Amino acid sequence: MKQKVTFFWFRRDLRLEDNVGLFHALQSDFPVIPLFIFDEDILENLPKNDARVSFIYDSLQKINEELKTIESAILIKKGKTAEVWKSLLTQFDIQKVLFNKDYEPYAIKRDSEISSLVQQNGAVSLSYKDHVIFEEKEITKSDGLPYTIYTPYKNKWLEKYHLSGQAPEYDTKPLFSNFAKNQFEFPELSEIGFERSSIKVLPHNLTQIANYKETRDFPALDSTSYLSPHLRFGTVSIRKLVNWANKKNQTFLSELIWREFFIQILFSFPHVVNHNFKPAYDGIEWSNNEEDFKRWCSGTTGYPMVDAGMRQLNETGYMHNRVRMVVASFLCKHLLINWQWGEAYFAEKLLDFELASNVGNWQWAAGTGCDAAPYFRVFNPEIQQKKFDEKGSYIRKWIPEFDLGYNAPMVDHAFARDRAIATYKKGIIK
């Protein structure tokens, strides 16, 4: 007879410690088999040397090495998620399947289908909140509707957080003996159909943000934590981060709350993936000039701050947050290119790409989203450079030819600003 087992399904929570779903799985009455599925529906759209796949693979390998010390291993599968689960349900006597919730539209649909499949096969399917402090409808206005403005959302979030003391952390280590003993073979990256990327996810470092409030807008100082890809794939616990930030760094905590704000916007208003949050902006006539877009992508616009940011992104998969605002505003306002083009390019390149934040921030820059920058605010890239990279240290790092005589700007700022404001005024539906 097959051994009765519980499955824990890793997704964007690639760690063994302080993992809510895993904590509950390990308290099951049955040995726990950890699982990760390389989902072909996601992978088929990625280049073979995608840096994020390399990072996921390496993170899983770290998990597997730790499991090997207790004579266990993670089961790695690749395929269409439903087909993988159908196969697993025939191979194992699965009693329970546990996983942590994901709030993106694709994931919600996928998880609903898998839960139904599991239940049809006589097993229990359970999901848990792990990716955020407050989910779905936990932070709402008094009428139960979701917030669409950040500041009141943040205030309600902080009020609820402080009432609870702090976010609970889950100690999984004492439960590790409940992992099933097994010797699953860990595949090579090439067996999954990918090759190692030369672009690396950097280790996160909280000591770099000691003066975050004062230094976070200056890209040359390199005073950011590099946490964002780790948050995206769950190699760090959001609860530990929030509890730390609450004690040490309120400005950094506000940025973590922005992340949750955009996640609940995406959950409550899933149309924002492909449409403006504000339908009144649907009438804007974007120029969408392909040659202009190529120059923006390649970092050859003639505006040093914009070009340095795009070259940093292309070479490393990172871009400083202040610079992200400048390059996004430039694409939408100076070049009148639809924010969706920029959002898609960032989705392809960013190591920390997360749908909710990417869509939310791009619509913020374009002025078409919730609590967005007003349409008539048009960042002047030259003023931004003088304010935040006065000595040109950041620019010279990414544009080595800068001092040899740099290209003229592809569009005059004053002209582009007036054109953008006129186009928005004309396009906004009253």
Residue set of the binding site for FAD: 212, 224-228, 252, 255-262
d(C-alpha 35, C-alpha 84), whole Å: 11
Number of neighbours of residue 314 by Cβ within 10 angstroms: 16
- Tokens representing residue 186 in the block: 């860990």
Binding site membership: which residues? Answer: 212, 224-228, 252, 255-262
**How many residues appear in the chain?**
430
Distance between CA atoms of residues 157 and 138, nearest Å = 9
Q: Are 161 and 44 in contact (CB under 8 A)?
A: no
Distance of alpha carbon 125 from alpha carbon 98, whole angstroms:
6
Distance CA 373, CA 403 (A): 33
